[in-house]
A = this chain, B = another copy of it.
Amino acid sequence: MVLAILLASAMGCEGPKTIDVSTTSHLFSDTEDYTKWVNPMIGTAKMGHTYPGATVPYGMVQLTPQTHFEPIVDASGSYNPATYPYCAGYQYDDSTILGFVHTAFSGTGHSDLGDLLVMPTVGRPDLDSNDKGGPRFGSSFKHSQERATPGRYRVRLDRHAIDVDLTATTRTGAHRYTFTEGGAAHIALDLTYNIYHHPDKNVWTFVRVENDSTVVGYRQTSGWGRTRLVHFAMRFDHAIADYGYEKGQELAYNGFYRRFDEERGFPEMAGRDLRAWFDFGTFEAEETLEIRVGLSGVSTAGALANLQAESVSKSFEQLQREAHDVWNDALSTVHIESVELKDDTTFYTSLYHSMLSPVVYEDVNGQYRGLDQNIHTSEGFTNYTVFSLWDTYRALHPWINLTQPDRASDMVSSMLAHADESVHGMLPIWSHHANENWCMIGYHAVSVLADALVTKVPNFSLERALDAAIRTAEVPYFDGLSSYIDHGYFPDDLSHSSVSKTLELAYDDWCIAQLAAAAGDVSMQKVFEERANGYQRVWDKTSGYMRPRLSDGSFRAEFDPLDTHGQGFIEGNAWNYGLYVPHAIDSLIAWHGGNAAFIAHLDSLFTMRLDDVYFAHTEDISRDGIIGNYVHGNEPGHHIAYLYNYAGAPEKTQARVRMICESMYGPDVNGLCGNDDAGQMSAWFLFSSLGFYPVAPGSGWYDLGAPLVRSAVIKVGDQILQIETEGAMDGALVERILWNGEVIQGLRIHADQLLQGGTLRFEFKG
């Protein structure tokens, strides 16, 4: 019914096209439950790095189990935290849950967060560290007694027969622990526990027991985020009968000299590494303990206000229902009719994973901690954090820009605020929780801005965006940028990852040129168009590869185009990363010798058999995500399957995209072939399974592939975009593609078209 109205308004101006109501009758209705197609366990095995816990779309709180604490101290005494596999703190193969934290990244390639580990126990939890420095109070569990759905996570903890039920709002988490056998109900609150376990990571921890049911505090860490603060406010539904804490690294508090028993019943605790315990007395069998936790980057007062606003007046059931409903509403952005049921799970779980970052990062009153560590108030926008931009500029942000323009607007404003707060004047590179962690290369926020411009994201200030983009591109000390500006490429003798950086900055600079052109700033447009030619300067026509070039202008002699180490590329090689020229694909094809040679090169890429040695010690590339020498489990090649289109072989784009959709994604815990990378992998699937993909975000163009879904209805702002197919889809070869009934000439469609709403129809051969 709602659909009918939406469609009527969307379609009315375009023509009399009608939708096949028989397959979409429950679209957007109150009764359709899209959450049933989401399996948050997907990607929790191997290198997906997703988490199964409770959260809401783009929520600040991620309330999720932690399964591991096993840092390795090597022979030399070096401390090696299990940083990489435990980016989200959970691995499906583990059998012990240590507790439940309130923050986690989804699918990243490096780790941080894991704040405020809470664990219920019967009897006083043992707060001493084990020989690895981790907590001793973990419990075994079984996946057969674990259930994750959007906004809810349940598990049984075997050790003390406690049933756990978790849910979340944007800024709060809610725990319900059922002590099935009763007993002495305790909670461990571990402020020492961290994702990326390192003994020096904790900077300060602070806890105040405000009254018999309210506890506030914060912890400050220095990890991937160098100066990071998270404040909390907890409310229990039972009175605290007794409490106390243990410290890790001891710090004398002179004030306590002779004055108090600091470690028990003293309501203000502080130190570098606190673990606290709370005793709630003896429970009957099946008695439940509920905890609500508000977070804030600003202050404990902010956390308390968030808790008050979002959580305390509602029952646990109501919170769960609302978390479910907000997810269902968010997932209803797209309705698909799939060919195979498993694809529904893959699709909606991808859609789910695409909504786990960036996350809201402000209190209910609009205050947030800025990159300058000062407290700011968002004026006219909602502030977001967790910008994993080297990953997400490729497809995740284009997806959000296209389908959720208001949220995209907030994200753009957040990035511009970041630039204002940055001492460098720079847009985010990879930022989280009021910190810049500088991860990876390039300054791809400019791509998000350019794409926001062409997708007409509301409240977009072209002037501010262009200014921030130019400032970012002119910071001489940023990762060798001055040498790039001087030489027109990154000289390999002066800068790491010289070719990767030259290629990616060439594209980024092209994005800035698009912004300048739109702003009518011809002089800046020329500057950045010229910089955007940088890719030409690392093309070695002798070898036929993008190749490291030295500051004297010569190409480096030692060069192995397959090796992923020390060849001027980061997490890739000349074969695959060398294809990254999204804004000048025709040049690339010409250099390779024209369409046929380029197609042959691409075919080789997908079919060659590479020795494992080429990908050894490359954390972000695992065999699971590789097809030949094509690496789907990592981002730099995400556009490659679409390059066939440019060489006149759209059927190969269609086949490769279909193959990737079917082999690299799936509906089980192994369903991600590499890190989801804050939603980028999932967003690739969303676009590609719907039949289009933004090879060069900022251009406005989406390259057409072959949809995996039979049909789809997508909310695009206030409009409706329909995907239709006709014919057998198993061969995946498309005969023709129509936009609103007219055959599309060429193999792409522009944002201007999609934003008007309409129907994109793929007619398959045979």
Q: Interface on A for B, CB 8 Å cutoff?
A: 110, 198, 200, 203-204, 206, 208-210, 218, 220, 222-224, 226-227, 251-256, 258-261, 265-268, 270-272, 299-301, 372-375, 423-424, 436-439, 477-479, 496-497
**Given the complex, which residues of B lie within 8 Å of A300, measured CB to CB?**
372-374
**Given the complex, which residues of B lie within 8 Å of A270, measured CB to CB?**
222, 226-227
Structural contact, B265 and A251, CB atoms closer than 8 A? no
**Given the complex, which residues of B lie within 8 Å of A256, measured CB to CB?**
438
Structural contact, A375 and B299, CB atoms closer than 8 A? yes
Structural contact, B258 and A496, CB atoms closer than 8 A? yes
Structural contact, B254 and A208, CB atoms closer than 8 A? no
Structural contact, A259 and B438, CB atoms closer than 8 A? yes
| Residue of chain B at shortest CB distance from A112 | B254
Structural contact, A226 and B200, CB atoms closer than 8 A? no
| Residue of chain B at shortest CB distance from A201 | B251
Structural contact, A373 and B255, CB atoms closer than 8 A? no
Taking a contact as CB atoms closer than 8 A, the residue among B254, B272, B374 that contacts A110 in the complex is: B254
| Residue of chain B at shortest CB distance from A249 | B200
Known interface pairs A251-B200, A477-B266; A374-B301 also in contact (CB < 8 Å): yes
Taking a contact as CB atoms closer than 8 A, the residue among B224, B255, B268, B272 that contacts A254 in the complex is: B224
Structural contact, A299 and B251, CB atoms closer than 8 A? no
Closest 6 CB pairs of A and B: A255-B438, A301-B374, A255-B437, A208-B423, A267-B423, A299-B374
**Given the complex, which residues of B lie within 8 Å of A208, measured CB to CB?**
372, 423
Structural contact, A255 and B206, CB atoms closer than 8 A? no
Smallest beta-carbon distance A417→chain B, Å: 14
Structural contact, B423 and A373, CB atoms closer than 8 A? no
Taken together as a complex, chains A and B put the C-alpha atoms of A110 and B255 apart, in Å, by 11
Taken together as a complex, chains A and B put the C-alpha atoms of A259 and B438 apart, in Å, by 8
**Given the complex, which residues of B lie within 8 Å of A436, measured CB to CB?**
255
**Given the complex, which residues of B lie within 8 Å of A374, measured CB to CB?**
299-301
Structural contact, A424 and B254, CB atoms closer than 8 A? no
**Given the complex, which residues of B lie within 8 Å of A265, measured CB to CB?**
477
Smallest beta-carbon distance A531→chain B, Å: 20
Structural contact, A226 and B253, CB atoms closer than 8 A? yes
**Given the complex, which residues of B lie within 8 Å of A437, measured CB to CB?**
254-255
**Given the complex, which residues of B lie within 8 Å of A271, measured CB to CB?**
222
Known interface pairs A110-B254, A374-B299; A203-B204 also in contact (CB < 8 Å): yes
Taken together as a complex, chains A and B put the C-alpha atoms of A204 and B222 apart, in Å, by 9
Smallest beta-carbon distance A198→chain B, Å: 8
**Given the complex, which residues of B lie within 8 Å of A252, measured CB to CB?**
198
**Given the complex, which residues of B lie within 8 Å of A254, measured CB to CB?**
110, 223-224, 437
Knowing that A259-B478, A299-B375 touch, tell me 6 more A-B residue pairs with CB under 8 angstroms.
A200-B251, A203-B203, A203-B272, A222-B253, A255-B438, A375-B375
**Given the complex, which residues of B lie within 8 Å of A272, measured CB to CB?**
203
Structural contact, A227 and B204, CB atoms closer than 8 A? yes
**Given the complex, which residues of B lie within 8 Å of A226, measured CB to CB?**
253, 255, 270
Taken together as a complex, chains A and B put the C-alpha atoms of A545 and B374 apart, in Å, by 58
| Residue of chain B at shortest CB distance from A83 | B254
Known interface pairs A203-B203, A204-B222, A222-B204; A299-B373 also in contact (CB < 8 Å): yes
**Given the complex, which residues of B lie within 8 Å of A496, measured CB to CB?**
258
**Given the complex, which residues of B lie within 8 Å of A260, measured CB to CB?**
438, 477-479
| Residue of chain B at shortest CB distance from A370 | B301
Taken together as a complex, chains A and B put the C-alpha atoms of A223 and B270 apart, in Å, by 12
Q: Provide a sorted-by-A list of 20 A–B residue pairs whose CB atoms are within 8 angstroms.
A: A203-B203, A204-B222, A204-B227, A208-B372, A224-B254, A226-B255, A226-B270, A255-B437, A255-B438, A256-B438, A259-B438, A259-B478, A259-B479, A260-B438, A260-B477, A260-B478, A260-B479, A266-B477, A268-B423, A299-B375
Smallest beta-carbon distance A276→chain B, Å: 14
Among A226, A299, A301, A424, the most chain B Cβ lie within 10 Å of the Cβ of: A226
| Residue of chain B at shortest CB distance from A430 | B255
Taken together as a complex, chains A and B put the C-alpha atoms of A239 and B6 apart, in Å, by 61
Taking a contact as CB atoms closer than 8 A, the residue among B255, B301, B372, B373 that contacts A439 in the complex is: B255
**Given the complex, which residues of B lie within 8 Å of A424, measured CB to CB?**
267-268
Structural contact, B206 and A204, CB atoms closer than 8 A? no
**Given the complex, which residues of B lie within 8 Å of A110, measured CB to CB?**
254
Taken together as a complex, chains A and B put the C-alpha atoms of A258 and B439 apart, in Å, by 10
**Given the complex, which residues of B lie within 8 Å of A251, measured CB to CB?**
200, 222
| Residue of chain B at shortest CB distance from A260 | B477
Structural contact, A261 and B222, CB atoms closer than 8 A? no
**Given the complex, which residues of B lie within 8 Å of A299, measured CB to CB?**
373-375
Taken together as a complex, chains A and B put the C-alpha atoms of A447 and B452 apart, in Å, by 64
Taken together as a complex, chains A and B put the C-alpha atoms of A65 and B272 apart, in Å, by 31
Taking a contact as CB atoms closer than 8 A, the residue among B200, B204, B261 that contacts A220 in the complex is: B204
Smallest beta-carbon distance A367→chain B, Å: 10
Taken together as a complex, chains A and B put the C-alpha atoms of A739 and B272 apart, in Å, by 60
Taken together as a complex, chains A and B put the C-alpha atoms of A585 and B215 apart, in Å, by 46
| Residue of chain B at shortest CB distance from A439 | B255
Taking a contact as CB atoms closer than 8 A, the residue among B203, B220, B224 that contacts A255 in the complex is: B224
Structural contact, B255 and A210, CB atoms closer than 8 A? no
